[in-house]
Structure 1
């Protein structure tokens, strides 16, 4: 295995980049053309997703042998806990909500990785997808204020994920570098995980774009 963790993560991100703009919902929100109901639909799906990812990241932390990898996943899990507390500002949880398969494929894959993925390979895939996800959230937060008149409390969930996290990325690079040095990284698996992450995330946004945020 040659090269650095930074080079590997950047290479995988570059491979994903041409498809980052396949998100059909974000441009509608930015133009103010998505129905207002779509934000409550996002929140309804995210209540389920965040709880699932929280458990998945804790499980990955428990499986990781390297300190930086454990801290990376533990930090992600902590972030999911914080994010869950920001959702009520956007919409209250509905007990009668029926999840969409296209939206819930992403956390199902994260749960699969929690059981089956090599932690370092999973870290490469997650970090490679961070840039696009953060950009989506920042764009939505800005449009919610400018196009729809939402207040800061309603935008807090998207503000949280739209903000950069250099400390988390530094942990990721250290964890992946340690795994590379120990020859515990499969570049093929990391790339496959990243490609599927992107596909399932796009399914989330595009499912909501296609149904207009209907319950």
Structure 2
């Protein structure tokens, strides 16, 4: 039994809301905690809340029964033929993907005044990985809501607009920051796409009959 799945999924459900409240408290008690820093730090708990909808919340008999892992593996473009509920998004790959997103969010917040393109890259990555995938791409194969749809539609997408609007109106980033950040975010997304495709290809090759 892979107990680590229970641990990390339970942890994000517990930590996400509390971390968000803690950041709000710090923002209103520490004058040195700038709005730009707050906006990027808040992405971490918001991601955890989004992942809670994907992996923790269950709606019996509804589209979210089985969670995002089963949904991605059986109802999206990445499904095998015939579909398997545990592949290509395995338990380990799911943890790696989400842990990478947490690390990405932390690094972007820590470096927002040093290398702002990292934060811009995070927004681009999340917009494609979550925003477009949940609300548009997944609709091509399975109409209606999916695990993670509501927090993407109502939280992550609008919040990304808030960050970019604030950064633009305060001239927080340069044109070069935006260009490098967009390219960086696209490259990170492509890397994940190629990794998933490679997993699919490896599985298909493993299922081919051996040479006589």
Q: With structure 1 as the length reference, what TM-score do the two structures score?
A: 0.45
More helix by share: 1
Report which structure shows greater RCO (CA 8 Å, sep ≥6).
1
Q: With structure 2 as the length reference, what TM-score do the two structures score?
A: 0.46
